Structure 1
Amino acid sequence: MDTDRLVHWLLGSLELDTTIFHVGQYCGRWRASTAGRSLASFHLVLHGECWLHLDEGTEPVRLGPRDGVFLLRDLPHFISPSPDRGAVLTPAPMQPLSAGEPGTTGLACGFFEFHGALGGLLINSFPRHVVMRADDLSLQAAAPLFDLILAEAVHGACPSPDAPSPLIARLADVLFFYVIRHVARQDDVAAGLWAVARRTEFAPLLSQLLDEPGQDWSIERMAGLAHMSRASFCKHFLEASGQPPAQFLVLLRMRIAAQRLQAGDSIDRAAEHVGYRSYAAFSRAFKKVMGTQPGAWRRQRQQREQGGAPALH
């Protein structure tokens, strides 16, 4: 299965909330961290350089201009201007950002959160952290986003480092989508949706599930497409995805139904498209995956779109 096709479908299904914690610059002896808030987080280097310190005993990671780190778990860590983990550094207030003042490090730091079962599947599939490098040719298209964030922080409506422009959160959203696509193409993603797509015996099945979610997808039929017995299919699919095939199918169907609802389909048409003839059965499945009834979910989405971007929190 074409990985980009899977990525594009997934990006259209994700509900991502990004909160910018602060945007500004440090100078002198400083230390900063987003750990301890039970959220995934990120640090983007807008100018200057710094060092990322993770677990004890691991080498520090140098970060330069247009580099970034996405911590997909709430990991103990800190960023500092020194590669020496034991250097005596104290938290210092972040100053307003300027355009590359010598001896300073410009950062955009924040948190992101996925909603719904598909977001959990994504996070469980990814490594604990991802370092984005400016010299990575596969990520060059994302480089202008750093410049846009820097320009917005310097010239936009940012009264202080702790009150950045809401536009920066939207730019960070786009940047993270580049990271998702980048990681999805790597070979070290060992579980979840990506693993299913990369297993040659499952890729044709996943392609057909996305194309025809409303078909009668019995375990026997899915196993047949994978050229396995029912027992072998269930065992290997669970090992790859972390979920039984039937549960995985419901997850995909409800996310596809949500996309149809957002595109303007009626509830009945969205339900029929993913194989449900009973409104009650569809509603129960939708609430289990999406957290609310389909009608309420659509109203919430419409209110959000009419009211503009969600408020930062």
Structure 2
Amino acid sequence: MAEPVTARDTLLSHMLRFAPAATMFYSGTLCGLSPDVDGLSQGCLHLLSRGELRLTRRGAAPLSLQAPCVVLFPRQYEHQVEGLGAEGAELMCATLSDLGPPMSMLMPEFTVVDLRTTPRLHRPVELMFKEAEARAYGYGAAIDRLLQYTLVLVIRHLVDNDMLQGGVIDAMSDDKLHAVIEALHTAPDRDWTLEAMAELSHLSRSAFAQRFVQVVGMPPLAYLTGWRMSLARNLLAEGKAVKVVANETGYHSVASFARVFQRVTGMSPGAWQRARLGLT
């Protein structure tokens, strides 16, 4: 008999409808410190296939990592990696372009996955390093697709091991907030107001806003914007027209959508889409 679908499962299914993308920016033998991964402006993924790596994070003790493993930073996080030993470390690094709130907010600051205990991740990582070594026709595109698949597997690992916690996950267990969160995720194109959300929660506007911040960690309209922008990035990455994306994410005009998108991503929707699809 199948287990009943929980509100948490429903929420995660909404968040995982789109697979986030990863793009390789380094592949090779790392000896000593790498200046390329210090202070990135977005999340990143490190894949270690051979050797030992020292991970240094601001305000934390250095951490030594043994191959084979995968390290995920879902959000911007200042750090450095250093290949140890005379032969260095065989490393691949990628930026995460479509992993934003609220999903990124549920993940730990960083996660290390030992590939010796997660065999389903071992094969795609092995294939990536073979592609990087051979550098045959289309190897860059092949690696990016494998990176995306690997990232999906890492997120599944987090879900399966109950490592997504806090914020909106807690809200799905809150008798006043779960209906609001579910509605925001199923109907992001609705003309949402604070009053409409409060009505769903059966609380006053002020009581709802206060409770939402206490449980989720941000104001309700800021949460809605984060979710809409995550959807927008994925829809633009599918090649949908900016006007269509604006409509599907709840904006009455392309201009209002573009202003919010520019504020969140630092780029206009059109420029972001062209860069994402390799049209520039």
Q: TM-score when scaled to structure 1?
A: 0.63
Are residue 79 (structure 1) and residue 82 (structure 2) matched? yes
Offset from partner CA, 1:243-288 (integer Å, 9 cap, x none) = 32233334444655676675768947962x5556xxxx43243113
Q: Partners of 2:79 and 2:234 in 1: how far apart?
A: 36
Q: 2:114 aligns with which of 119, 133, 140?
A: 133
Q: Partners of 1:131 and 1:108 in 2: how far apart?
A: 14
Structure 1: segments with no counterpart, 5+ residues: 83-91, 93-103, 159-163
Offset from partner CA, 1:213-243 (integer Å, 9 cap, x none) = 3445443442343343322210121233343
Q: 1:203 to 1:52 in 2, by over 3 A?
A: farther
Identity %: 19
1:178 is matched with 153
Are residue 108 (structure 1) and residue 91 (structure 2) matched? yes
Q: Partners of 2:190 and 2:258 in 1: how far apart?
A: 21
2:72 is matched with 70
1:190 is matched with 166
Structure 2: segments with no counterpart, 5+ residues: 1-5
What SS does structure 2 have at the residue aligned with 1:291?
A: helix
Q: 1:310 to 1:267 in 2, by over 3 A?
A: closer
Counterpart of 1:31, as a letter, is: G
Are residue 285 (structure 1) and residue 264 (structure 2) matched? no
Are residue 243 (structure 1) and residue 244 (structure 2) matched? no
Q: Partners of 2:84 and 2:227 in 1: how far apart?
A: 44
What SS does structure 2 have at the residue aligned with 1:243?
A: coil
Report matched runs for 1:1-313 at 5 Å.
2-3=7-8, 5-12=10-17, 16=21, 18-23=23-28, 25=29, 30-33=31-34, 34-39=36-41, 40-47=43-50, 49-55=51-57, 58=61, 60-65=63-68, 67-71=69-73, 72-81=75-84, 107-114=90-97, 119=100, 121-136=102-117, 139-157=118-136, 165-183=140-158, 186-187=162-163, 189-191=165-167, 193-197=168-172, 199=174, 201-215=176-190, 217-253=192-228, 256=231, 262=238, 267=243, 271=247, 281-291=252-262, 297=269, 301=273, 309=278
Offset from partner CA, 1:116-157 (integer Å, 9 cap, x none) = xx7255545433321112244xx5433321121132133343
Contact map agreement 1:19 1:111 (CA 8 A) in 2:
yes
Q: Partners of 1:230 and 1:304 in 2: how far apart?
A: 41
Relative contact order (alpha carbons < 8 A, sep ≥ 6): 1 or 2 greater?
1
